[in-house]
Amino acid sequence: MKMMTLKGMGLALFGVMLHTAAHADDTQAELARQGKLVATDADCQACHTNPEGGKPFAGGYAIHSPMGTIFTTNITPSKPFGIGNYTEEQFARAVREGVRPDGKNLYPAMPYTSYSHMSDADIKAMYVYFQQDVKPVESPTEETALPFPFNMRIAMAGWNMMYLDSTPFKPDASKSAEWNRGAYLVNGAGHCDTCHTPRNLMMGSVTDKPLAGGMVGPWYAPNISSDPVSGIGNWSQAQLVEYLKTGRTAGKNQAAGAMAEAVQNSLQYMPDEDLNAIAFYLKNSTPVRDPADKQSADTFGKPLNVEEGLRGAHPANANNTLNSGAALFSGYCASCHQPDGSGSKNQAYPSLYHNTATGLGNASNLISAILYGVDRKVGDTHAFMPKFGEGSYVGQLNDQQIADISNYVLTHYGNAAIQVNAHDVAVLRAGGPVTLLAKLQPYMAPAMVAGVVILLLLIFWLGRKRQRAKS
């Protein structure tokens, strides 16, 4: 009897233990599930999964920054090559502060300046997800080797003093929960600000112009502050949500470049409440007006038929007659965007007027759409415009041809005050404008020690000044 009791108690105890273990597993599984959502919000795969057939989160994607090529790292739980040995604290420090477990600094191509605002709970969930649900990839990635002096990762410590705001996100009690969720996503996990807030000469965010737009490689991440002229003030909440979810809103814009990737990899999977929170926050953000903007970018242009003035001007076996923007537009663009620029009936081929790509004060997105095309998979829809730059399947256009087409489009369907030239196209073809910091790089090497010392002193001094200003 006693024996039985003991045995029974033992069984009961075992049962409790089993139950606890199962419960712990449930918690871990739930955390991992949460973490996957957070990793999607944060769009880790945009950089850490090589789009050219790379394994999930195995890194090796080459980011062509103005300072040189940065190779993304393996963030799978591989112990030798990934983050398998990271503790949660080390993981949190890398994500939020840009510092690896070995103490070396990450480059801010990793948007830790935004992730710094992520909550402990989200970081924890993401940690569990990566360690538990991501398949380890046992292969190394190429080492990042920026040219001097950018290869001195220690310099980033100084840069961080100036530009890293490491205060955790604090909800603003005077605002609604939706606003606060939006703020957290826009400036934290979703890191919209990483691209949409302009950067200064030192590549730091210009914090007094939040979300006022800036160049990201050859693309322009437009002003998404609530300003009705320069920003998204005249977009409805529903239009913003539609855009975030699908990458396009008729009469407004269609996502290309990095924004297409953001929609494809991240935004389309976010719950509607989060997309609404982002839209709500943007609609209620501080308006930032560019004084040069007189009219909102989606209100320019009207249909104009390119056929008039072209048909019959040359014999049917002519050669070398594509010598105007109109002729090039007719031959290369009008089959899809229609001879009057109005796009297809269902706007799968979008209208070129009432389109911010042609109405913005910065024509980069028009030019880059021609150079690099548009490629965006959302749900079962694959929005695709072929590129016309090098390697185009349809036609490799030169800088002057692209400038001529752009000017035709700007003049008739877009912001006629803006005109571009072959050099503007060449700059975007080469990857986008080069910042002063990168331009100075060749002169930095000869200056060697002196240069480094001055730079570091400058950074230290600026950092101190900023710290003082903060306090």
Partner 1 sequence: MKKPEFMANGDASADVIVVGSGVVGGMIADQLVSQGYSVLVLEAGLRIERAQAVENWRNMPFENRAGSDYQGLYPQSENAPAPLYFPENNYVHLTGPSASSFKQGYLRTVGGTTWHWAASCWRHTPNDFKMKTLYGVGRDWPISYDELEPYYCRAEEEIGVAGPNDPALQSPSERSKPYPMEQVPYGYGDTRFAEVVNPHGYRSVPIPQGRSTRPWNGRPTCCGNNNCQPICPIGAMYNGIAHVERAENKGAVVLAEAVVYKIDTDENNNVTAVHWLDNQKQSHKATGKVFALACNGIETPRLLLMAANEKNPNGIANSSDHVGRNMMDHSGFHCTFIAQEPLWIGRGPAQSSCLVGPRDGDFRKDYSANKMILNNINRVIPATSQALQMGLVGKELDEEIRRRSIYGVDLSISLEPLPDPDNRLTLSATRKDPHGLPCPDIHYDVGDYVRKGAEAAHKQLEHIGQLFMADEFNITTSLNANNHIMGGTIMGSDPKDSVVNGECRAHDHANLWLPGGGAIPSSSVVNSTLTMAALGLKAADDMAKKLAGAA
Q: For residues 177 and 296, what is the distance between their CA atoms, to the nearest angstrom? A: 30
Q: What is the CA radius of gyration of the chain?
A: 26
- The correct pick among 386, 422, 456, 460 for binding partner 1 (CB under 8 A) is 386
Question: Is residue 448 within the footprint of partner 1 (CB under 8 A)?
Answer: no
Q: For residues 412 and 341, what is the distance between their CA atoms, to the nearest angstrom? A: 9
Question: Is residue 375 within the footprint of partner 1 (CB under 8 A)?
Answer: yes
- Please report, as a single letter, which amino acid is at residue 398: N
Choose the binding region for partner 1 from 60-68, 211-219, 382-390, 447-455 (rule: CB under 8 A).
382-390
Question: Is residue 400 within the footprint of partner 1 (CB under 8 A)?
Answer: no
- Residue 397: exposure state from Cβ atoms within 10 A (0-12, 13-18, ≥19): buried
Question: Is residue 327 within the footprint of partner 1 (CB under 8 A)?
Answer: yes
Residues between 92 and 111 with contacts to partner 1, criterion CB under 8 A = none
Question: Is residue 330 within the footprint of partner 1 (CB under 8 A)?
Answer: yes
- The correct pick among 395, 419, 423, 445 for binding partner 1 (CB under 8 A) is 395
Closest CB 24 distance from partner 1, rounded Å: 45
Q: How many alpha carbons lie under 13 Å from residue 248 in its C-beta half-sphere? A: 24
Question: Is residue 315 within the footprint of partner 1 (CB under 8 A)?
Answer: yes
Question: Is residue 419 within the footprint of partner 1 (CB under 8 A)?
Answer: no
Q: Report CA dihedral (174, 180, 184, 190) to the nearest 10 degrees.
A: -140
Encoded one letter per residue, x for contact with partner 1 by CB under 8 A and - for no contact, window 138-167 reads ------------------------------
Q: For residues 136 and 75, what is the distance between their CA atoms, to the nearest angstrom? A: 9
- The correct pick among 5, 174, 319, 346 for binding partner 1 (CB under 8 A) is 319
Q: For residues 407 and 325, what is the distance between their CA atoms, to the nearest angstrom? A: 7
Residues between 205 and 224 with contacts to partner 1, criterion CB under 8 A = none
Question: Is residue 117 within the footprint of partner 1 (CB under 8 A)?
Answer: no
Nearer to partner 1, 143 or 380 (CB): 380
Choose the binding region for partner 1 from 71-79, 100-108, 160-168, 332-340 (rule: CB under 8 A).
332-340
Q: How many residues bind partner 1 (CB under 8 A)?
A: 34
Nearer to partner 1, 311 or 464 (CB): 311
Closest CB 52 distance from partner 1, rounded Å: 13
- The correct pick among 309, 384, 421, 423 for binding partner 1 (CB under 8 A) is 384
- The correct pick among 20, 151, 236, 321 for binding partner 1 (CB under 8 A) is 321
Choose the binding region for partner 1 from 26-34, 71-79, 245-253, 386-394 (rule: CB under 8 A).
386-394
- The correct pick among 173, 292, 316, 469 for binding partner 1 (CB under 8 A) is 316
Q: Report CA dihedral (345, 348, 353, 359) to the nearest 10 degrees.
A: 170
Question: Is residue 379 within the footprint of partner 1 (CB under 8 A)?
Answer: no
Closest CB 217 distance from partner 1, rounded Å: 19
Backbone angles phi, psi at 187, to 5 degrees: -100, -10
- The correct pick among 207, 396, 419, 467 for binding partner 1 (CB under 8 A) is 396
Is the N-terminal amide bond of 149 cis, ω within 30° of 0? Answer: yes
* Residue 68: count of CB within 10 angstroms of its CB: 16
- The correct pick among 6, 24, 154, 336 for binding partner 1 (CB under 8 A) is 336
Question: Is residue 369 within the footprint of partner 1 (CB under 8 A)?
Answer: no
Binding site for partner 1 (CB under 8 A): 310-322, 327-328, 330-332, 335-336, 373, 375, 382, 384-387, 390-396
